[in-house]
């Protein structure tokens, strides 16, 4: 069996030994993306990888990058041609034989080709993963199969882990409040105060953790005087 035939086997071995345990230990989508990227670089000699996301307005953007050649693309909006979008939507892996064929990818000023596989969940396109190669070290068909396997097996987990990252703070609060109200009797009183205290406590807790319990820094960030902050820390039992 030559190496080109081992492609799917190598991926399955990686999936069982490294990626699944990593997913089980933590759910940070950035770590999962980095794990996939390292695998593509080490096993298939990719020069880099990228993660394309879709925002709440259905716009595409470069959510993450791995490798020096792609670092300038992070955060950039991406407006794919309709043909490319249509192919990704139906689950096809797209090959950019030249990066100059796309206005965004051409900014890397890199020679090579890009394999882009869709990330689909619930029958809907949620983004894409791409691998950059300077030259085909393996048959294109093998690399295409590998990207397809990654998209189909890892895609749902990556999408699930990044769900909250893709929502604005307004959308997150709205969804959580809707869930909370389902468990609170609407005939009762003080719902506004109760919800407000939950949000306030969480905000103060996060800020205090960020500044390592430095009350002076926390009061400036929150826009509260130190006496008010002390009272709220005591009220919410958030003292160190």
In which band, very low, low, confident or very high, does the pLDDT at 167 lie, cut at 50, 70 and 90? low
Predicted local confidence at residue 177, as pLDDT: 74
Q: What mean pLDDT is predicted for residues 228-233?
A: 90
Checking if the pLDDT of 48 tops 90, the result is yes
Checking if the pLDDT of 20 tops 50, the result is yes
CB-facing half-sphere around the CA of 203: CA atoms within 13 A: 15
- Say how many C-beta atoms besides its own lie within 10 A of residue 135's C-beta: 9
Residues 4 and 236: their CA atoms lie apart, in Å, by 60
Checking if the pLDDT of 208 tops 50, the result is yes
Cβ atoms of residues 94 and 84 within 8 Å: yes
Task: Give the residue, 85 or 137, on which the prediction is more confident.
Answer: 85
Share of the chain above pLDDT 90, in %: 25
Q: What mean pLDDT is predicted for residues 132-137?
A: 83
Query: Across the chain, what does the average pLDDT equal?
Result: 81
Checking if the pLDDT of 187 tops 60, the result is no
Checking if the pLDDT of 8 tops 70, the result is no
Tell me which DSSP letter residue 18 carries.
Answer: I
Residues 4 and 10: their CA atoms lie apart, in Å, by 10
The closest alpha carbon to 34, from 11, 17, 51, 12, belongs to: 51
- What pLDDT digit, counting tens, does each position of 100-122 carry? 889 999 888 888 899 999 998 87
Residues 238 and 222: their CA atoms lie apart, in Å, by 15
Q: What mean pLDDT is predicted for residues 18-44?
A: 76
Predicted local confidence at residue 188, as pLDDT: 56
Lowest mean pLDDT among 3-17, 72-86, 123-137: 3-17
Q: Which residue has the tokens 């909370």?
A: 180
Task: Give the residue, 191 or 78, on which the prediction is more confident.
Answer: 78
CB-facing half-sphere around the CA of 89: CA atoms within 13 A: 9
Checking if the pLDDT of 1 tops 50, the result is no
Checking if the pLDDT of 83 tops 70, the result is yes
User: What predicted TM-score, i.e. pTM, was given to this entire model?
Assistant: 0.67
Task: Give the residue, 150 or 51, on which the prediction is more confident.
Answer: 51
């Amino acid at each position: 069996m030559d190496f080109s035939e081992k492609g799917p086997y190598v991926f399955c071995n990686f999936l069982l030994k490294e990626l699944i345990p990593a997913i089980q230990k933590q759910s940070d989508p950035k770590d999962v993306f980095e794990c996939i990227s390292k695998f593509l670089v080490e096993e298939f000699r990719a020069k880099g990888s990228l993660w394309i996301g879709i925002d709440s307005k259905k716009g595409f953007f470069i959510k993450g990058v791995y490798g020096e050649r792609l670092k300038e693309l992070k955060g950039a909006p991406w407006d794919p041609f309709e043909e490319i979008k249509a192919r990704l939507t139906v689950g096809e892996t797209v090959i950019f034989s030249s990066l100059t064929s796309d206005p965004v990818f051409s900014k890397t000023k890199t020679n090579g080709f890009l394999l882009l596989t869709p990330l689909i969940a619930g029958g809907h396109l949620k983004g894409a993963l791409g691998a950059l190669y300077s030259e085909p070290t393996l048959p294109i068909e093998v690399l295409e199969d590998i990207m397809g396997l990654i998209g189909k097996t890892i895609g749902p987990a990556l999408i699930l882990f990044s769900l909250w990252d893709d929502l604005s703070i307004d959308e997150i609060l709205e969804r959580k409040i809707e869930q909370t109200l389902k468990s609170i009797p609407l005939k009762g009183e003080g719902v506004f105060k109760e919800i407000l205290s939950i949000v306030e406590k969480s905000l103060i807790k996060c800020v205090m953790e960020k500044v390592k319990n430095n009350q002076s820094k926390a009061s400036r960030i929150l826009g509260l005087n130190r006496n008010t902050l002390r009272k709220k820390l005591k009220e919410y039992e958030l003292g160190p």
